[in-house]
Amino acid sequence: MLNLENLSKSFRGGSFGSGAVPAVRQVSFSIAPGEVTSLIGESGSGKSTIGKMILRLLPVSSGRITFDGVDVASLEGSALKEYYRKVQGVFQDPFSSFNPVFRADRIFRMLEREYFGDLGAREWSAKLHTSLEAVGLNPADVLGKFAHELSGGQLQRLLVARALLLDIEILVADEVISMLDASTRVDVLNLLAGLKERGLGVLFITHDLSLGHYISEHTVILRRGVVLEIGETAKVFGNPQHSYTKMLLASVPRLHSHWEPLEPGEPARTGPRDAPRGRGRRARGQPLEPVPLLVEVEPGHLVAFEDGGTATAGDER
């Protein structure tokens, strides 16, 4: 079980590099085995920053992340190596994870050296083939190829196969679907669904509400680094309480309904997949809003307290 407790991250920045820019503020949630948790928010809301802190690619500013009760920030040496055996990430652009100069399966050789030095060549090869087949790849199609000879979907699967070799327990999947075409998307989604059946906990980072709805048991709605609504997916989507969540859901066109021109003066609807973009950032000089309290509105469903129902994103237009 991975727990985020009051997790915050500030980047150095502001005018002339002074001051701190908060990217994530007092975020708490957990990722349980056998479940997918979606982290949903517009661009710049802090989703990848959370993923990177979990993977120790960025240090935490305050709060903590624990894995099976141990503070992840305290891990060093062999304990950190063990952590990476259990917690791995796959990112949006699979091409960026591969060095174009080397064959794509070099990622496995590095893993072999690091974690499986005591396996014989034949045993290693059998293990590798099993993990490739588990993600729907034919080893003969992918081994020995360069990244440019493989499709985005194949590369994404190679990365998942690599994570599986380590017997991982938690996978951080950051916008893994966005780059793929429609038919490959379904395959990778089904692959992720298969992972949770194998008992993995998945943090599914996306700005796509329908993907989050489709795949996850739990949903976290993030805006400007702050959790606004969190809970069981069926409750957050079926009974949204925060005006921002309602606005996001209203901006997703229903399937099978046709596009109709807007009346003059009506607010523009956004594209089919994207949460509204560009409102995630605080205007220069605008004071930082306090982190709202989360109130339990029904069992397993928490919503950020809205001050008089006014200070909300939906009203900012």
Q: Quote the CA–CA distance of 206 and 274 in Å, as a whole number.
A: 10
Task: Sort residue 70 into left (φ over 0), alpha (ψ -120 to 50) or beta.
Answer: beta
Of 16 and 259, the one with the shorter C-beta distance to ligand ATP is 16
Asked if 13 interacts with ligand ATP (CB under 6 A), we say yes
Asked if 45 interacts with Mg ion (CB under 5 A), we say no
Mark the segment that binds Mg ion (CB under 5 A) among 44-52, 94-102, 228-236, 240-248: 44-52
Tokens of 144: 């020995």
Residues in the interface with ligand ATP (CB under 6 A) total 12
Tokens of 46: 């802090």
Asked if 156 interacts with Mg ion (CB under 5 A), we say no
Asked if 270 interacts with ligand ATP (CB under 6 A), we say no
Residue 44 touches which of ligand ATP, Mg ion, none (Cβ within 5-8 Å per kind): ligand ATP
Chain residues 180-239 in contact with ligand ATP, contact rule CB under 6 A:
207
The residue within the footprint of Mg ion, chosen from 37, 48, 241, 312 (CB under 5 A), is 48
Burial class of residue 197 in the structure, from the number of CB atoms within 10 Å of its CB (0-12 exposed, 13-18 middle, 19+ buried): exposed
Q: Quote the CA–CA distance of 48 and 280 in Å, as a whole number.
A: 14
Q: How far is the CB of 221 from Mg ion (least distance, A)?
A: 15
Q: Quote the CA–CA distance of 157 and 94 in Å, as a whole number.
A: 9
Q: Quote the CA–CA distance of 297 and 284 in Å, as a whole number.
A: 34
Of 42 and 105, the one with the shorter C-beta distance to Mg ion is 42
The residue within the footprint of ligand ATP, chosen from 2, 4, 7, 23 (CB under 6 A), is 23
Strand 87-90 relative to strand 170-174: parallel, antiparallel, unpaired?
A: parallel
Of 50 and 166, the one with the shorter C-beta distance to ligand ATP is 50
The residue within the footprint of ligand ATP, chosen from 4, 44, 219, 235 (CB under 6 A), is 44
Of 44 and 231, the one with the shorter C-beta distance to ligand ATP is 44
Burial class of residue 58 in the structure, from the number of CB atoms within 10 Å of its CB (0-12 exposed, 13-18 middle, 19+ buried): middle
Chain residues 58-117 in contact with ligand ATP, contact rule CB under 6 A:
none
Mark the segment that binds ligand ATP (CB under 6 A) among 46-54, 95-103, 113-121, 303-311: 46-54
Strand partners, 208: 274
Burial class of residue 194 in the structure, from the number of CB atoms within 10 Å of its CB (0-12 exposed, 13-18 middle, 19+ buried): middle
Mark the segment that binds Mg ion (CB under 5 A) among 40-48, 56-64, 128-136, 228-236: 40-48
Nearest one of 147, 155, 161, 149 to 99, comparing CA atoms: 147
The residue within the footprint of ligand ATP, chosen from 8, 26, 49, 241 (CB under 6 A), is 49
The residue within the footprint of ligand ATP, chosen from 47, 213, 279, 301 (CB under 6 A), is 47
Q: How far is the CB of 312 from ligand ATP (least distance, A)?
A: 19
Q: How far is the CB of 201 from Mg ion (least distance, A)?
A: 20
Q: Quote the CA–CA distance of 249 and 208 in Å, as a whole number.
A: 10
The kind and range of the H/E element at 24 are strand 20-31
Rounded (10°) CA dihedral 113, 118, 119, 121: 60
Residue 242 touches which of Mg ion, ligand ATP, none (Cβ within 5-8 Å per kind): none
Asked if 46 interacts with ligand ATP (CB under 6 A), we say yes
- Contact positions toward ligand ATP, by CB under 6 A? 11, 13, 23, 41, 43-49, 207
- Contact positions toward Mg ion, by CB under 5 A? 48
